[in-house]
Chains A and B, each alone.
Chain A
Amino acid sequence: MLTQLLTKDCIQLSNFVQSWQEAIRLAANPLVRQNKIEQRYIEAMIQSIEQYGPYVVITPKVAIPHARPTDGVHALAMSLLRLQKPVFFSPNHPVFLIIVLAATDNASHLQALADLTLVLQDSDQIDSLIACQHEDAIWEKIKQYTTKESTG
């Protein structure tokens, strides 16, 4: 499920970005291009962090910025940006992986998020994703981490 949603054309690699705001804009770019979200969804994600703080950094090195379905989402979508050098969501929150989530309702994205927890539950798996040098490698690893449980 997660790899069907987080397709290779929604995965990007970058060496460095100036700010967490730029990281979110860049990470969400493929979704705007594919018309899955409107530009205003990006600003809503940024505003949410400005309002509530960097809680979207759900585990060290990983942020999952998101806003509400009513902030301009056309289709359920996810995108991922991997940074070579971390961007700081706060002085204590260096982030290498930015996973944008765009949900259309309260339920349809939950399986993908449950899959995502299989990837993020292990800090070695996170480091392994960060070390990837190609979009395909990231996608393959995510596929591996999200299918190993069901295949035993």
Chain B
Amino acid sequence: MKILVVCGSGLGSSFILELNVKKALEVLGKEAEVTHTDLASAKAEKADIYLGAADIVNELAKDNAIIVSIVNMMNISEIKEKLEPWL
């Protein structure tokens, strides 16, 4: 299972979100590979789940990929609830 966290530049928000995705996975007791990148690179990179702010991930029209959009990137509960059905 690979989770790719995406933001516009791949520098700030996506890293913060990556840390919180890892915390959420820990709470769920699940394991997955989590990395972060920018939107342009994400379009060319394969992952099972693409996760980011709605503004960003909605630009990723991926076939057969799961897209998860997060409103509050600091809210572990939100991340947990939105990821759990896909793990």
Q: Are A59 and B74 in contact (CB under 8 A)?
A: yes
Residues of chain A lying within 8 A (CB to CB) of residue B19: 113-114, 117
A109 vs B12: C-alpha distance when bound (angstroms): 9
Q: Tell me the minimal C-beta distance from A78 to chain B in angstroms.
A: 10
Q: Are A58 and B9 in contact (CB under 8 A)?
A: no
B contacts with A: majority SS: mixed
Q: Are A113 and B15 in contact (CB under 8 A)?
A: yes
A128 vs B73: C-alpha distance when bound (angstroms): 19
Instruction: Name the residue of chain A whose CB is nearest to the CB of B59.
Output: A52
B13-40 interface bits toward A, Cβ cutoff 8 Å, 1 = contact, 0 = none: 1011101100000000000000000010
Number of interface residues, chain B, beta carbon within 8 A: 24
Q: Tell me the minimal C-beta distance from B61 to chain A in angstroms.
A: 16
A54-84 interface bits toward B, Cβ cutoff 8 Å, 1 = contact, 0 = none: 1110111000101111000000000000000
Q: Is A18 an interface residue (CB 8 A)?
A: no
A120 vs B16: C-alpha distance when bound (angstroms): 10
- Within 8 Å by CB of B13, from A60, A64, A68, A110, lies A64
Q: Are A66 and B11 in contact (CB under 8 A)?
A: yes
Q: Tell me the minimal C-beta distance from A15 to chain B in angstroms.
A: 26
Q: Are A54 and B55 in contact (CB under 8 A)?
A: yes
Provided the pairs A52-B55, A54-B55 are in contact, do residues A109 and B16 lie with their beta carbons within 8 angstroms? no
A120 vs B17: C-alpha distance when bound (angstroms): 12
Provided the pairs A52-B8, A55-B52, A55-B53 are in contact, do residues A110 and B73 lie with their beta carbons within 8 angstroms? no
A68 vs B10: C-alpha distance when bound (angstroms): 9
A84-112 interface bits toward B, Cβ cutoff 8 Å, 1 = contact, 0 = none: 00000000000000000101001001100
Closest 8 CB pairs of A and B: A53-B55, A55-B53, A59-B74, A52-B8, A58-B73, A66-B12, A55-B55, A120-B74
